[in-house]
Amino acid sequence: MAKKRGLIINGQLRSKTQRETKMADGAGDPRPAVDERPKLEDIFTEIGNDIQRHLEAVFLAQGRGRRPNFPSTAATNKLLLQLYSIKIKSGSPWTAVTDWFSSLFPYQYPPFRVRHLIESTVTSVLSCDPSARKQFYDGHIDLTFIGEQCSKIGLTRLNLLDLTLLPEHLKTSTFKCTNGLLLELDNFCCREGHGFDYFSLLIEKLVPGTTDIRSLKQAIKHIRFEFRKLNKSKRRNTNAANYLDQEFVPKRTKLDDIGNNARLQNVNITSGTTAVATQTLVEQWENNVETLQTELGCAQALISELHEQQIVTTQKLKQKIDTLTHDLKLKAEKIACIQTELKDVKSRAPYLRVKRREKYLKEKEKDLVGKALCKSSETVSQLKTHIKYLTKTLDNQKQLANFHKKQKKIYQKDAALLKTACSQLESELLELSSDSLTTRNHGRQYTEAMEKCVMEVVGELDVSTEKCAKVIQSVAYWLFDKKVPLSQLPSADTATNMVDRAHVLSKHQVAEGVLLSDRWNLHGDGTTRDHNKILGQQVALDSGKMLSAGFCAMAVEDQTTLLDNAICMMHELVDLYTESEDEREVLYKSMLEKMFAVMSDRASVNKAYNRCLDAYRKEQTGNENLLHFLYCNAHFLLGLSNVCESSLKVIENDICTLTGRKLGRDSDAKFQRFKHSSESAVARFVRTACDVFGPRGDEKNGCRLEWEAFCSESLGIKSRVKSFRMNRFNNFFEGAAALYHHRESVTTFLGDYKGKGNLKLQSVLCDAKCEELQALVRALGIVFYKITGPFWQLLESDTEYVDLYKFVQAMLHLFQLWQHDASDLLSEKNKGIFPDFAISVDEIHHSLYSGVSEYHQDITKKALEQVMGSFIEVTERQLADFLEGGVYGQEPDQELRKKMKHCRLTNLVSENEFGDLDFSQYRRRHASLHYHSGIQMIKKNHTISDWLKSKSPQDQSRLLDHARKQAHDLRIKHRNSEKLVLVKTKERLEEHYRKEQEKASARDEAKRQILVRVKANGGPCSCPSDVDKVLSCCDTMGKKTNVLKDEFRYLKQVLGIADKRLIMGNKKTDELEKILKGVLGGIDMQQEGTLVAKDFGVELEGTDDVNITCSEENVAIRTKFPKKREKKKKSVHMQKKESLRHQEQCVEKFIFSRQGTWVAVAYEQEYFIGEVVEVKSDTLAVVQFLNRGYRNMFRWPQVEDISEIDSKYVFASDFEVQMHSGGRSWIVPELSYLEKLYISYTELFF
């Protein structure tokens, strides 16, 4: 009962814990609940042994010498852990530990609770974090603590054990006696073994005159009952605490009730208003007094009678006691006489003989009994041994019987399997004995083996559906000598249907993997192929396996569309996994709840999509745990390449300022027309050199074959030049390192090049000869070997995502050091940012550090220091999660590390799948995205060769039946979704076209208004004198200013003259006039094609259409857009005749007149469409060509295709070239007509 009371005071009723029952008295090692918690050895190492050695010397000392004195120490958690450590090392029992503790702190803590105190301390320290453990060690323990209520009034255990030590303030002042105080005092008395008398004595000392003992017992029971009831309520924390803080109110007695009634009647009497009521109350009071007096007289008479009876009874008892005392004395005397006689008898010889005989008989009896017991014990032991033998024999027989039963079941199963195998072998034997191969069942359906074969051959082995039947036929004939006609094998359409079923199986595989995993990650990335936006999705399971979830089309890449596609993907997986509607909702929520992280790039739309997905997941599942938003760390290298180029531009400008000349080809006059390029000289050299020397480069202007032959035959080396793609992660720096390695070879090769040295090759030669430029290229090569290369090696390693912070923070520290002094990078012995992931040293690495001049070295050092500053900005922006204070910027706990073990560092799996998609679309140009997605999933997930093969034959048949039912519906669903995307894309393009038309109309209207105002002012001005004429007609300065501004607008907006001086701003009228005259004085208006007002050819007033043709950009201004004229149908002969006549006129009359003209140039095999970028003469111009792509879409190639063209090869010009959606593609509406002209041109001249 005492233990139960003490636990109720703490607010809860607890039984003995499992930890307390499992701990033994000797070892008593409380084990942590999980494996991640620290061990006791680590805890003992952390707390040290500063005072522990002293304690061991005191408690464990042996010998007779003087023991050391007890150390003076406070009661802390560290001391309790040290006592526990001594107990484990010495193997002492808990009683000894209790004695040690009592010796250190006598009379301060009950000995029977010392073990519980130490065990609870050990359990608490094992559950603490490493950071909180140090604070826990120094925590003080109050050994004299009884309860909160006693602490409030200053009562301790020592005060209650010795009442003479009560605090003075409790004796002199009054305090509030609460219910909790009474319960704590009662529990104390029960725990210490004191009775209720000691409890009443405590109450009398603390609160004198509270109540009597009987009422106090009832009050304690009532308080305990109420407290238990409140603890069971829903608001037990507040209600129970409030009840304990309430003041104790003792129960009232009957006498108190009488007094209260009397006071109440007095109040009623004094408050009465009538004499009658007062008289009635007085009479009632008199009657009560008379009744009480009568009862008092009767009680006094009864008391006197009882007193007399007591006196008589007392006298009788005294007489009886005297009589008994006398009898007792007589009997005592008689006993003394008998004892004297007995002593005499015992001293005589007969008695002694009897005693000796009795002793002899007892010894004889013992000998006989011992011999009998020996014989019986031997017999019993033999019987026990025999019984054990029989028991073992029986157990062995039972085990043997059970073994035979199990073997019988195994043999029966083996027999059944052998029967099945025999039947299969018989069927296979029949097939092998026959010349044909069974490909169909009894009906027209193909066998499951044939279906799985086609799925694997087409889906995983990348055989086309048209060739699938022939491949199977060839394999069956040459390997198995089976002749299978093509009619018995699946056709191309049937093979496509089987691939659709394999698509369903692959989706089922993904759904199964997600639902059976504890957590999974969603990877995703978007791309554009032939103006179609495609989203690729992958699933990373907690086992580390990556599964492809296929592709889907999108109309626009925003957060809403991405969220819808993710939801549709999960719904589709659940729908294909089960056919039950009830299970689908449960599985969908389970799949959504198991989603752990999302991997994407750092685009703003992906960040918004992550927030939307997290909110949707919380809404559907109620799981408040945030999703982990992971970003591809490979894009960090793209950020480095971008900022590196901008930093190099600053360095190039500084070098040009110091040397007084430009770098590379920019110093040659023949390249002046390219001086406005925004590309840095270093990036230009790397790009152009890789294009002409590297693989997949410029086949038209390059010389890769000649370069490789030169390296192999003349130098005896292999070309190390890479293919250049600026959007590749590490291509920019790796290409720079290879080019610096070949810098002398490039100069020699291009200097002696016998072929046609076009501008591109000349540009590379000029850049290769520039010493300052090569120093900057060397800096890029060093960055590759010391920074970007090791970082790429790190991304390809098995490093966990939560451990990346160690490398990122170390890398940032090196960047900060190298920003101020990059001398360490110029040392060949430097291991780079990550020595464990350094790139192997080769000849390119040696060339970066050999044969370098001091001037060259100084430029490279300054470039590296400038680049390191930019790298710091990119690191702090893109890798902020891994820096100090970031989400993953510190050591994670074991639970998070376990959960994120399957998380990958990059999202390259999406990039790789898009590369496979490009190859698949190249091989199957007319296949749907549904087919490409299915092929990709089957190949990447190994659906047939691994997953389906691992299933039992029954499960394979079930899955194939399920796939047959779902394949057609899934294909229809994807086809409808693709059509819906096309509809949305069309609507978006129409809306974009409408807005562009509105903008064009607004621009045309603005130009028309400018022309109207210029005409009204007397303009436009064609020379400086016209400006004076126009201004002479103005009266005020404000009007002059408006006229000049209209002339400015006319030159800029209508004529399209690009001059930096034509900026009005807040300039005054005189400045505007001076600028306008200067601009008009430096322009030949007739050469520019500018028309004065009288040459417009139309009247501006009262006209609806205004057509003005300007030579600069061939601007056509129309206030109204006329409908397209319907072409009259002409005969084929007439069309050919007109086209030939038109072509003859073009060849005879076409001259290059202005830049920006679209021309079609004929070659022997095909024609090319391009734009005139520079006019050298009437018959010679520089043309930049478009690259013709899929579906007659034109794009500007990544490598500029620029050539000098003679006008005699131009067979068409001034045709319309329209910009397609996105601004990256172009279309030619009259392309079919141009093809007819080209055919006519070739027939005429080639």
Greatest mean pLDDT range, 506-510, 666-670, 1177-1181: 506-510
| Mean pLDDT to the nearest integer, 337-358 | 81
CA distances from 722 to 736, 774, 837 (A): 9, 17, 22
The whole-angstrom distance between residue 853's C-alpha and the CA centroid of its chain comes to 49
Q: Give the span between the Cα atoms of 779 and 1186, in whole angstroms.
A: 35
Given 3-state DSSP classes, what are the helix, strand and coil percentages for the chain, each rounded to the nearest 5? 65, 5, 30
pLDDT tens sequence across 978-1031: 999 999 988 988 998 999 999 999 988 999 999 899 888 887 888 888 888 888
Question: What φ, ψ does residue 1161 adopt, rounded to 5°?
Answer: -110, 130
Residue 313 has pLDDT above 50, yes or no: yes
Among residues 1168, 1153, 1146, which one has the least CA distance to residue 1217?
A: 1168
Q: What percent of the chain has pLDDT over 90?
A: 30
Quick one: tokens of 567? Answer: 């939801």
pLDDT at 1217: 85
Quick one: tokens of 648? Answer: 């190099």
212: left (phi over 0), alpha (psi -120 to 50) or beta: beta
pLDDT at 10: 33
Q: Where is pLDDT greater, at 107 or 460?
A: 460
Q: Give the span between the Cα atoms of 1022 and 1019, in whole angstroms.
A: 8
pLDDT tens sequence across 1077-1104: 888 876 544 444 333 333 333 333 333 3
Quick one: tokens of 589? Answer: 């929520």
Residue 950 has pLDDT above 90, yes or no: yes
pLDDT at 922: 85
Residue 1180 has pLDDT above 50, yes or no: yes
Q: What percent of the chain has pLDDT over 70?
A: 82
* Single-letter residue type at 1028: D
pLDDT tens sequence across 262-312: 444 444 444 444 566 667 777 777 777 778 878 787 877 788 778 778 787
* Single-letter residue type at 371: K
Q: Give the span between the Cα atoms of 420 and 1198, in whole angstroms.
A: 64
Among residues 654, 639, 653, 640, which one has the least CA distance to residue 603?
A: 639
| Mean pLDDT to the nearest integer, 704-728 | 83
Residue 820 CB partners (closer than 8 Å, separation 6+): 865
- Sheet containing 628-631: order of strands: 546-554, 532-541, 520-529, 595-600, 628-631
Q: Where is pLDDT greater, at 892 or 44?
A: 892
| Mean pLDDT to the nearest integer, 224-235 | 70
Q: Give the span between the Cα atoms of 755 and 703, in whole angstroms.
A: 9
pLDDT at 520: 95
What mean pLDDT is reported for the chain?
Answer: 80
Q: Where is pLDDT greater, at 1018 or 109?
A: 1018
pLDDT tens sequence across 481-493: 888 888 889 999 9
Quick one: tokens of 181? Answer: 């105080």
Question: What φ, ψ does residue 592 adopt, rounded to 5°?
Answer: -70, -35
- For the ranges 713-727, 817-831, 1042-1056, the lowest mean pLDDT is seen at 713-727
Report whether 255 contacts 275 (CB < 8 A). no
pLDDT tens sequence across 404-435: 888 888 888 888 888 888 877 777 666 666 66
Alpha-carbon dihedral 97, 102, 103, 104, rounded to 10 degrees: 90
pLDDT at 32: 41
| Mean pLDDT to the nearest integer, 1163-1181 | 87
Q: What DSSP state is assigned to residue 664? A: G
- For the ranges 606-615, 762-771, 1110-1119, the lowest mean pLDDT is seen at 1110-1119
pLDDT tens sequence across 184-208: 777 777 777 777 777 777 777 777 6
- For the ranges 277-281, 531-535, 715-719, 1125-1129, the lowest mean pLDDT is seen at 1125-1129
pLDDT band at 1215 (very low <50, low <70, confident <90, very high): confident
Residue 598 has pLDDT above 90, yes or no: yes
Residue 570 has pLDDT above 60, yes or no: yes
CA atoms within 13 A on the CB side of 1053: 20
The DSSP element (H or E) to which 654 belongs, if any, is: helix 635-659
| Mean pLDDT to the nearest integer, 615-622 | 90
| Mean pLDDT to the nearest integer, 910-916 | 89
Quick one: tokens of 748? Answer: 């020699």
Residue 807 has pLDDT above 90, yes or no: yes
Report whether 1208 contacts 1235 (CB < 8 A). no
Residue 939 has pLDDT above 60, yes or no: yes
Report whether 933 contacts 949 (CB < 8 A). no
- Go through the chain and tell me how many residues it has: 1246
What sign does the dihedral 759-764-767-768 (CA atoms) show?
Answer: negative
pLDDT at 590: 92
pLDDT band at 1118 (very low <50, low <70, confident <90, very high): very low
**Residue carrying the six token digits 């050990």:** 122
What sign does the dihedral 625-631-633-639 (CA atoms) show?
Answer: negative
Q: 0.75 exceeded by the pTM?
A: no
pLDDT at 567: 94
CA distances from 785 to 230, 738, 746, 790, 858 (A): 73, 11, 22, 7, 19
Q: Where is pLDDT greater, at 218 or 1024?
A: 1024
pLDDT at 211: 54
